Amino acid sequence: MYTQLPGASQLQYGGSSIPDVARSGQLDALIALERIGTRSRFSCNQQIYCQGESGGECWYRVISGTVRITNLLQDGRRHIAEFCFSDDGFGLESTAERSFSAEAVGDVTVMRYPRAATERLAEGYPAVARLLRDMALKSLTAAQSRLIILGRMTATERVVSFLLELSERFDSEKHIELPMCRCDIGDYLGLTIETVCRVFSDLKRRGVIEVLPHSITLLDRFALEAMGED
Amino acid sequence: MYTQLPGASQLQYGGSSIPDVARSGQLDALIALERIGTRSRFSCNQQIYCQGESGGECWYRVISGTVRITNLLQDGRRHIAEFCFSDDGFGLESTAERSFSAEAVGDVTVMRYPRAATERLAEGYPAVARLLRDMALKSLTAAQSRLIILGRMTATERVVSFLLELSERFDSEKHIELPMCRCDIGDYLGLTIETVCRVFSDLKRRGVIEVLPHSITLLDRFALEAMGED
DNA sequence: CGCCAGTTTGACCAAGATCAACGCAAGTGG
DNA sequence: CCACTTGCGTTGATCTTGGTCAAACTGGCG
């Protein structure tokens, strides 16, 4: 069971190490939280929850794999609000009806936490309340920084910032395995799949990245950062 | 002092009326919160805090007026992440350094709450923790619904959704006073000021709105909603 | 009255969308 | 084993939307 606990070092509680966590009673809170969670698996393109579905009865945490949070317009235009990787939380919504769907990008394992029980827990454990708040704030920061990308950046800048974001997420590795297809990238960046391809090809031609269908290698991070603006 | 309290009816605590709030101890929490807050005023275009500034030492709540949350790129491109109207909270950030500026759009009065004291309060009062979380979730929902607007919608759809959003925010009034200039609207919607003007003119020509420099009247809401998609 | 900032309109241009064709690898079935 | 299909990725030709640049208009204010 404890293997499902988010590692204390990942919790961003001001430089917390295991002893700190234990001393401040946060470990109790986290154990209580894990007790109300259940583990489940989804395979590629399976829906975890669906836009329009009543109530956010649950929220989730990614254990392994990648989840995309999508939004569909009636005429079929799609947008991806967020990619969630391991240890990211998702599915906490304030509205009565889900305004997004969550889908597995590849094979995915998640923990599911019932909302009502979590609320009750948050009343008793400030650490749980804080965890929820930090989760929401983290998503908020991510969403807001993407607003300027979608609103004001060129196709090249969008793709570059996407690559740098991914690289940073995976410990600044030069080699990035792309779990998602070109179509997902386009829908994430507000571009068509063709434009994403063209930008990749262009960056390859300029020698700053190496491109394979499901992986990218950053050859010249300095040049990339210069192209990424901001 | 109590006049600065957000009205209980606006707090979205599951149908809370004053007696409910008092019974559950939430009133105590809110009074404690107000005690650590200070009121301040800003005039048009004055900065409340600045992008790059160290630490989010404080968060804020709008008492009256409009605040814009902006993001500036080195080359001068600007984006507005959010407009905050009365009773909206802003300035809660998870990062060490502010990634946005907050500026008064007209004359503005806000309450300022020190972050550290609020955290301490949240440890003791679950209601405060919940208020903070709801605030973050509300901003998150707003930011995420704007992602699809910026990523996938046409100029007309963006402007229409902006008008409908404003109208909804002001009790579905047909007549909307625009506190912000065309430039702010453009930066909010990821469009140029000229495009915003052209769309306004086009909607006027089609007879669905009436346009004055600082106010808009919705003449045909049905037509507008049809143009807004989603 | 003239100035000035904000707004509106028009002419032209370019970034990226659309449409279409092709490449390529992994199935699938005879 | 080989034709055939299918899904994804890439590339090219053309078109459209919205950006850019420039000029005119408007209203408030000294």
Q: Kindly report, residue by residue over B95-111, the tens digit of the pLDDT.
A: 889 999 999 999 999 99
Q: How many CB atoms lie within 10 A of CB B208?
A: 19
Selected for mutation to probe chain A from B144, B150, B187 (highest A CB count within 10 Å) is B144
Residues of B in contact with A75 (CB under 8 A): 229
Cβ contact A148–B71 (<8 Å): yes
Residue A6 Cα distances to A68, A88, A89, B90, angstroms: 20, 10, 11, 29
User: What pLDDT, on a 0 to 100 scale, did the predictor assign at position A25?
Assistant: 65
CA nearest neighbour of B112 among B3, B8, B12, B33: B33
Cβ contact B143–A147 (<8 Å): yes
Residues B80 and B69: beta-carbon distance below 8 Å: yes
Cβ contact B79–A152 (<8 Å): yes
Percentage, residues of chain B above pLDDT 70: 89
Contacts of residues A165-169 at CB distance under 8 Å and 24 or more positions apart, as own/partner, are A167/A218, A167/A221, A169/A85
SS3 label, residue B51: coil
Show the 3-state SS of chain A: CHHHCCCHHHCCCCCCCHHHHHHCCHHHHHHHHHHCCEEEEECCCCEEECCCCECCCEEEEEEECCEEEEEECCCCCEEEEEEECCCCEECCCCCCECCCEEEECCCEEEEEEEHHHHHHHHHHCHHHHHHHHHHHHHHHHHHHHHHHHHHHCCHHHHHHHHHHHHHHHCCCCCEEECCCCHHHHHHHHCCCHHHHHHHHHHHHHCCCEEEECCEEEECCHHHHHHHHCC
A153 CB burial (10 A radius; 0-12, 13-18, 19+) = buried
Residues A22 and A5: beta-carbon distance below 8 Å: no
Strand pairing of B58-64 and B215-218? unpaired
- Rounded CA-CA distance B99/B113 in Å is 19
B3 interfaces chain A, CB cutoff of 8 Å: no
**Mean pLDDT, rounded, of chain B:** 88
Nucleotides of C under 7 A from a protein CB: 6-11, 15-20
Strands across the sheet containing B215-218: B175-177, B215-218, B209-212
For residues B145 and B94, the model is more confident at B145
Instruction: Give A226's contacts (C-beta < 8 A, 6+ positions apart).
Output: none
A173 φ/ψ angles, rounded to the nearest 5 degrees: -65, 145
Instruction: Give A195's contacts (C-beta < 8 A, 6+ positions apart).
Output: A155, A186
Residue A56 Cα distances to A59, A92, B218, angstroms: 7, 7, 34
Strand pairing of A47-49 and A38-42? unpaired
Residue A99 is nearest to which of B95, B145, B152, comparing CB atoms?
B145
Nearest nt to A192, CA vs C1'?
C17
User: What pLDDT, on a 0 to 100 scale, did the predictor assign at position A3?
Assistant: 42
Query: Quick one: which H or E segment has residue B5?
Result: none
pLDDT tens digits for range B5-63: 443 344 343 444 445 544 456 788 889 999 999 999 999 999 999 999 887 789 999 99
Selected for mutation to probe chain A from B133, B134, B162, B227 (highest A CB count within 10 Å) is B133
Residue A71 is nearest to which of B79, B139, B148, comparing CB atoms?
B148
Cβ contact B92–A150 (<8 Å): no
Residue B109 Cα distances to B11, B34, B40, B85, angstroms: 19, 15, 6, 10
User: What pLDDT, on a 0 to 100 scale, did the predictor assign at position B230?
Assistant: 64
User: What pLDDT, on a 0 to 100 scale, did the predictor assign at position A166?
Assistant: 95
User: Which residues of chain A fall below pLDDT 50?
Assistant: 1-18, 21-23
Cβ contact B147–A229 (<8 Å): no
Residues B46 and B102: beta-carbon distance below 8 Å: no
CB-to-strand D under 7 Å, chain A 164-183: 181-183
A195 CB burial (10 A radius; 0-12, 13-18, 19+) = middle
Residues A17 and A8: beta-carbon distance below 8 Å: yes
User: What pLDDT, on a 0 to 100 scale, did the predictor assign at position B96?
Assistant: 85
- Rounded CA-CA distance A210/B8 in Å is 57
User: What pLDDT, on a 0 to 100 scale, did the predictor assign at position B94?
Assistant: 82
Q: Measure A152 CA to nearest chain B CA, in Å.
A: 6
pTM for the predicted model, two decimal places: 0.89
User: What pLDDT, on a 0 to 100 scale, did the predictor assign at position A15?
Assistant: 41
pLDDT tens digits for range A69-88: 999 998 989 999 999 999 99
